[in-house]
Structure 1
């Protein structure tokens, strides 16, 4: 190890840093999506059409990779799997994103992005209901997850029920424009909050159903492409019902095209791939722990680009949510360590037994040639293939 060249040492250091750089970059990508989407909706783009176009782009980006890379491992499609994909296409691409966009439109990008921090806690509650998460109140890690979930809910209530004075981090000239926006947001604040909560529950349900579906259809890239395809078709149907004006579908070289392309490529195409790679290397807890960074980036971009005014209640609620989130993440990280310890202890207690037999010559004391008898190996012997 001491004879490593500078290039080898640099390569090792980059491999260790890559997951962090990937997740930080992804949070900037999500924050950019929130801002660009809100700008496009302020310029008249329907959130339903935006979601549909987003998955048109995502399908076109992901499908070729799924077709080529997973052509040999793609399982056979069955009716139960197809129905699950239909449900997945409705939960996240249609229900979650449309409710989120409406909630963000009625509140602010900062407020909406802060609500995303409730996602791990809500997912944890649903995972307990569907027996995907084990809870033992005698273990401190389980208590931490329960307390963290409760703290997160309290933070969301603070953000909803208490606005407080406006905190001006950055003075800007957009006060007049934002005044009208703020008054409109005040009138729909509760409605926007309810929509954001519905969005979070839809997204959490998506993760739960996805975990069950992957057990029957273990081809992540193909499943992602199919979900985007179904989301595009179902979203188009909802959009045609909700938006009767066909001229609303027109997209020019403006913020509408930018929002659809950016969110489809970055937040549905690249994001799915990056999250999958990092989850394989570090696990989902590592990925989840970066979500508060997105809220901070969105708040800064919202104040600079959109001249959004941040209320004290949003700041206090966000701090409480982040505290609860990291309490849950800490409990989940302890879960991972304990499960690894349990696996190692079980491996030591249940050593594999070799089935090899050794032929030996045995003289039975009678005349004639010695007989060859197969004597099985001792039960205490074990294979070292895994070591």
Structure 2
């Protein structure tokens, strides 16, 4: 009995922990993508072409799984669903990714990953607008979500408006100044890059909101992922042909450029879209975006070591403010989950009682009397027509 109880306890814990483990794992995957992608850019990779190639890889990986594993549960495709998938294929594979990559090229991987911390606040605001989130100002946890969102936005403004002095963690000051003179962007590019990164966060938040609505109409996560990647190929190719007139950028070799396409396609498009879709259906879009600070920490460490990037005081201060506000929002969300669970348990206490005699007489299809605990409410069925 002890082994069974222990096994059952572990299984229950694992089911509760799966969303958290999935999102933490994704942050490690995103951190690796930021570093590999930045290296490929330094070797001449076009961010437009990268977006197309990564979704070709993602489609080849995810489409067979979607076709075979969801063939019995996949709903019929309709025009409204297809149009939503087409918008999703543009918002994330084309708009968000290219804005993010352009912003990262004009700043740094560390700053770009730190800017993503504003994503949960934007998502929360959009979720309120579309009624995916609720706020009751008479409850502490609802007030915490509002305050946390305001603090997160404040931190993003600090990161954007205040750069500060450079912090050196790995190499000596002279070495950093030498590398910084050739690799660090100008002040003008830094501001432009910041605007692109914030616009990217807006596009990413829109993707999560629309994905949440689409999965309610078409509850097949693997198929939705495959469609997004497939449509992203065509929409991304059109954008690439418009902005990249040099056909030589489509040629890649067996180097970091190929690695960036394969890694980002498998981990950050195929797997990420699927995992985010599953967790979004279970916990909501705000929960999915609440783990970005972990990505910032991992990317900052890898960027300093692998790319010898400079970390600025403004980024650190802004990131600390963002993390503080972010986890205030997460605490409020956790209380929402507890209240929702308790409400579901209360509803589950209703006991159906049937009057078999009336059913036998054929007067009613069935008479159900729902008696919640502590109440005496009677609900009569409609007579047969």
| 1:353 pairs with 2:352 | yes
CA–CA separation in structure 2 for the residues paired with 1:213 and 1:13: 30
Contact 2:57 2:265 survives alignment (8 Å): yes
Specify the structure having the higher radius of gyration (Cα). 1
- Kept after mapping to 2: 8 A contact 1:285/1:333: no
Q: Within the alignment, does 1:212 sit opposite 2:220 as a pair?
A: no
Segments of 5+ residues of structure 1 without an aligned counterpart are 360-373, 383-387
Given the superposition, is the C-alpha separation of residues 281 and 85 from structure 1 closer, same or farther in structure 2, using an over 3 Å criterion?
Answer: closer
Structure 2 unmatched ranges of 5 or more: 359-363, 373-385
**2:132, 2:247 → 1: CA distance?**
44
Structure 2 distance, partners of 1:114, 1:283, is 22
1:273-311 Cα deviation digits (max 9, x unpaired): 444555677766654443211100000000001110100
CA contact (8 A) 2:208 2:285 kept: no
Q: Secondary structure at the match of 1:163?
A: coil
Equivalent residues in 2 for 1:338-377, closer than 5 Å: 338-348=339-349, 351-357=350-356
Give the equivalent residue in structure 1 for 2:301. Answer: 300
Identify if the C-alpha distance between structure 1 residues 26 and 377 changes in structure 2 by more than 3 Å, giving closer, same or farther: closer
Residue 66 of structure 1 corresponds to 66
Q: How does 1:236-247 map to 2 (within 5 A)?
A: 236-247=237-248
Deviations 1:118-163 (A, max 9, x none): 1111011111112222222112122111111111111011001111
Asked if structure 1 preserves the Cα contact closer than 8 Å seen for 2:176 and 2:310, the reply is: no
CA distance in 2: counterparts of 1:276 and 1:243, whole angstroms: 32
Q: Deviations over 1:327-353 (max 9, x none)?
A: 1111111111111222223333xx242
Return closer, same or farther for 1:48/1:207 CA change in 2, 3 Å cut-off. Answer: same
- Distance in 1, Cα, partners of 2:334 & 2:286: 7
Matched residue, 1:328 = 329
Q: Give, in whole Å, the separation in 2 of the partners of 1:160 and 1:67.
A: 44
CA deviations on 1:56-95 (whole Å, 9 max, x unpaired) are 1111111110011111122222222211111111111100
Residue in 1 aligned with 2:314?
A: 313
Q: 1:250 is matched with which residue?
A: 251
Alpha-carbon contact 1:108-1:185 (below 8 Å) kept = no
TM-score relative to the length of structure 2: 0.87
Alignment partner, residue 201 of structure 2 = 200
Give the corresponding residue for 2:226: 225
> What is the aligned residue count?
367
Kindly indicate whether the alpha-carbon contact (under 8 Å) linking 2:290 and 2:330 is maintained by their aligned counterparts in 1.
yes
Paired with 1:358 and 1:230, the residues of 2 have a C-alpha distance of: 58
